[in-house]
A and B are shown apart, each in its own frame.
Chain A
Amino acid sequence: MSLRLNRRHFLGTAAATAAAASIPLRARASTPFTMQAAWINDAEFAGYFIGIDEGYYAAEGLDLTYLSGGPDVIPESTIIAGRADLALTTPDTTIKAIVEQGAPFKIIGAQYQKNPIGIVSLASNPINEPRDLIGKTLAVPPVNVISVNAMLALNGIDPGQVNIVPYAYDPTPLIRGEIDASLDFTTNVPYTISQQGVEATSFLLYDFGFTIYNDTVVVTEETLTSKRAELVAWLRASRKGWEANFKDPNGWPPKWADTWFAGTGRSIENEIFFNNAQQPLMESPAGYMGMTEEGIEANLRALAEVGIKGTRDMFDTTLLEEI
């Protein structure tokens, strides 16, 4: 690249340098940066798709590689193995790993202020609160059993009183009444069930004492030190993506029919429902991706109830402050 300056260019460069003082990375060449998402492409990750498509990450100097997740993908593993700089995951697994295995993780942001997972049942056989689960059959993905046991314990219910069976990603057994309820994203499954001509009802584990975040942003301590500027840049661009998303939650999903959502097997209408349903769960006085002191306190309290003894220093809010 030629670096000879003429007058006009010089003024432009000077302006860029001035801007760079407030936004450190903008004027630099783009840095490769990889994020590991928690699941396959759906509206859960809309903010990041916008950030990539609209160049928010590029403007921050990040050349972002996006890795989608799946049942065998443990997001934390990807960052330990050095295949990603940052992962979206759940605070219960992260904190348990820090406490029990001394894993070098820090939580630097949170997408969902309220965890969207909840108990979904049919309106014709409604489960409206944890007590209603006693004596019923509940399908839970094996990885989430820890959360359900926590919620039951918080509500004074012995997990032995609920018949917990594996949930194999398909709502058919619920629709046909083989199970009474299932644990899933309340932003998603009620729509699928309504498509089968049946009405669903649901409640969040969050509303019954299991007050944890979801899709928390986790990094290793090493990345936190070595790539701090990039992490702040990623948080800033992601917040911008989510802000843009919720200005037009119905408008974005159809745009991705041939890109991000191509061939996922899910419908665009489903993503629109999802995108609208997730907005109230993501809003925070601290802004999108934010973590408030009350929120962190609520996470630690809920996890302590089930024997996961986290501490405040496992969360690092200083990067959010730098946005």
Chain B
Amino acid sequence: MAADASGPWRGLRNAAILLLIWEIVGRLDLVAGGALPGISEILIRLWVDWGDYPRHIGATLYASSMGFLIGNALGIGAGVLFALSPTALRLFRGVNIAVFALPPIAIAPILVLTLSGMAPRIALAALGVYFVTMTATVIGLSQADSRATDVIRAYGGTRWDILRRVQFRGALPSILAGLRVAAPNAVLGAILAEFGGGGRWGLGAYLLGSLGRGEPDRLWGIGLVATLIAGLSYGLFALLAARTVGSTRAVTLNTAVPDAAPRAGHPLGRIALTFGTIALPFLVWWAFIEATGVPDLISKTPWGVVEYLFLDPTAESAQTRLLAALVETLPITFLGMAAGLGFAFLLAISSRLFPRAIEAFMPVALVTQTMPLVALTPLLVLILGRGPSLTLWVTISVTFFPAFVTLAQGLALVPRSAEDLPRAYGASRWTEMRMVTIPASLPYLFAATRLTVPRALLGVMIAEWLATGKGLGNLLNQSRGFLDYGMIWTVAAVSVLLSVLFYQAVVIVERRVLRRLGMATAE
């Protein structure tokens, strides 16, 4: 977001105005009969409760840091492997998409069933980190300056020399950017697992104990602390990136033609690879259960889920319940995808047309990303009721942010010269937007869609779990009460599978459209 000299101050001023409005609205109990407390009420409560916080923060930091380390070690390791071997990248594609798309609320109960102690928290934090870092590593390594690698090759350097001397250095900014996004993910994953997992310490555990009090100022306080931790971890890596990027950036432009993508080999080999890509996620699932050694009454292998759904005496009842839930969940999920994407798109366009207003909105947008939704539920049901509008808003709040960031990036990258043309002819900002900026950022629109679509299911399931009592989200929770382990695993598997399908559908449309327009995909 570019700004002139007075920009930062105006941004601050707008944010201050927003906070003031929040304070007045909260103090006067104007929203939902006082369910939204004023900023000062939240801060005073935070001060009063402060004695409770250190151990909870400590536990959350421990779990999220462990998850961050493990997730990043795996992410960078896998990224290096994938950058070296396109076959490995192809083979692991299914696993990678599954990790990216899996809805955490469906996975948390599974982790609590199969792991103990801090392990579910660390695992959920690591899962939130892996994909982001892995992708950033692959992109960073594959975008190394080919002139530098040519130099090493010319002097007889090995593949490892290239990796060590050029690619890693070149990839550093990209990896650091990945870590920046990954850090808040780790915090959120840890808090979600703390909420359900039954430990005594951690912000998630504190939130659970506090919910029963019916005191929104406490809940907002916890949300604010979570936001602060997530924000600081983002800031830490942003700072690190700013310090190191300068030394690795190329000074002149590389005009060499990039290497062509390796052609796939024998058709049989390709089929085997595709089969492996699809089979691998199920193998990982099966290996996970073998490794945890949890009895098969409570942990279901892929085959266990097939048995439960198709072969057991209760299969028919299971199918009926699953289908009924899907019929409730899927239509609103498609609406949610459209709403989340539409909201992100509007926001991205507004950020070009009214940059100041959007700058002021950004802190609020960040809070919606780190504030645990369970703490906001009373406020949301009081304002929106328990119908489709609540589900849509929860879905928008879960989906819009990554899509917005991607779109804003795409809009900002449109060449100035292309925008100057309509401007020279006296076109309005909006005409310029319509005729140049939006079409030019189409690859980013698709990238944003890929980010949004799997998360829409997560948003809908959260709303179902907390407020509407319908669909997959509700089925998952009721199954816990019935000790219906088969259904718990089935819902988790089906939700991951659906998210992967949504993702894959976007990828196929994206390839077709962009190929026809002669554009490249954006990561």
Residues of A within 8 A of B (CB): 40-41, 67-74, 76-77, 80-83, 93, 96-97, 100-101, 103, 141-146, 164-166, 168-173, 175-176, 178, 188-189, 192-193, 195-196, 262-267, 270
Tell me whether A263 and B477 are in contact in the complex, defined as CB-CB below 8 angstroms, given that A70-B198, A142-B465, A166-B467 are known contacts.
Answer: no
A96 to B487, CA, bound (A): 15
Q: Is B32 an interface residue (CB 8 A)?
A: yes
Pull 24 A–B residue pairs with CB atoms less than 8 Å apart, ordered by A.
Answer: A69-B198, A77-B113, A81-B295, A93-B483, A96-B482, A142-B474, A142-B480, A146-B481, A165-B468, A170-B211, A172-B216, A176-B33, A188-B212, A192-B212, A195-B213, A263-B55, A264-B200, A265-B52, A265-B208, A266-B209, A266-B210, A266-B212, A266-B213, A270-B213
Verify A193–B214 contact, CB threshold 8 A: yes
Q: Is B478 an interface residue (CB 8 A)?
A: yes
* Mask of B314-338 contacts with A, CB within 8 angstroms, 1/0: 1000000000000000000000000
Pick the contact of B314: A93, A100, A262, A264 (CB < 8 A). Answer: A100
Verify B198–A165 contact, CB threshold 8 A: no
B379 to chain A, nearest CB (A): 8
Residues of A within 8 A of B355 (CB): none
Residues of B within 8 A of A (CB): 32-33, 35, 52, 55-56, 108-109, 112-114, 116, 195-201, 205-214, 216, 218-219, 294-295, 297-298, 314, 374, 377-378, 381-382, 385-386, 464-469, 474, 477-478, 480-483, 485
Which residue of B is nearest A140, CB measured?
B469
4 nearest interchain CB pairs?
A72-B196, A143-B481, A265-B209, A70-B198
Verify A70–B52 contact, CB threshold 8 A: no
Verify A265–B483 contact, CB threshold 8 A: no
A71 to B116, CA, bound (A): 15
Residues of A within 8 A of B56 (CB): 263
Residues of B within 8 A of A171 (CB): 212, 214
Which residue of B is nearest A103, CB measured?
B297
Verify B381–A80 contact, CB threshold 8 A: no
Verify B297–A169 contact, CB threshold 8 A: no
Please classify the interface of chain B as helix (H, G, I), strand (E, B), loop, or mixed, using the class held by over half of its residues: helix
Verify A67–B198 contact, CB threshold 8 A: yes
A206 to B294, CA, bound (A): 36
Verify B481–A144 contact, CB threshold 8 A: yes
Verify A76–B483 contact, CB threshold 8 A: yes
Tell me whether A74 and B482 are in contact in the complex, defined as CB-CB below 8 angstroms, given that A165-B386, A165-B468, A263-B56 are known contacts.
Answer: no
A173 to B377, CA, bound (A): 9
Pick the contact of A173: B200, B213, B381 (CB < 8 A). Answer: B381
Residues of B within 8 A of A72 (CB): 108-109, 112, 195-198, 480
A133 to chain B, nearest CB (A): 16
A164 to B201, CA, bound (A): 32
Pick the contact of A196: B55, B207, B214 (CB < 8 A). Answer: B214
Residues of A within 8 A of B478 (CB): 142-143, 145-146
Pick the contact of A74: B113, B218, B219 (CB < 8 A). Answer: B113
Residues of B within 8 A of A170 (CB): 211-212, 214, 219, 377-378
A49 to chain B, nearest CB (A): 13
Pick the contact of A142: B201, B298, B477 (CB < 8 A). Answer: B477
- B113, B314, B483: residue with the most chain A Cβ atoms closer than 10 Å: B483
Verify B199–A74 contact, CB threshold 8 A: no
A196 to B214, CA, bound (A): 8
A141 to B32, CA, bound (A): 23
Verify A101–B297 contact, CB threshold 8 A: yes
Verify B212–A68 contact, CB threshold 8 A: no
Pick the contact of A70: B208, B219, B314 (CB < 8 A). Answer: B208
A148 to B469, CA, bound (A): 14
B397 to chain A, nearest CB (A): 16
Residues of A within 8 A of B116 (CB): 81, 83
Which residue of B is nearest A189, CB measured?
B212
Which residue of A is nearest B386, CB measured?
A165
Verify A70–B197 contact, CB threshold 8 A: yes
Verify B298–A80 contact, CB threshold 8 A: yes
Tell me whether A264 and B209 are in contact in the complex, defined as CB-CB below 8 angstroms, given that A80-B295, A80-B298 are known contacts.
Answer: yes
Tell me whether A77 and B298 are in contact in the complex, defined as CB-CB below 8 angstroms, given that A70-B196, A171-B212 are known contacts.
Answer: yes
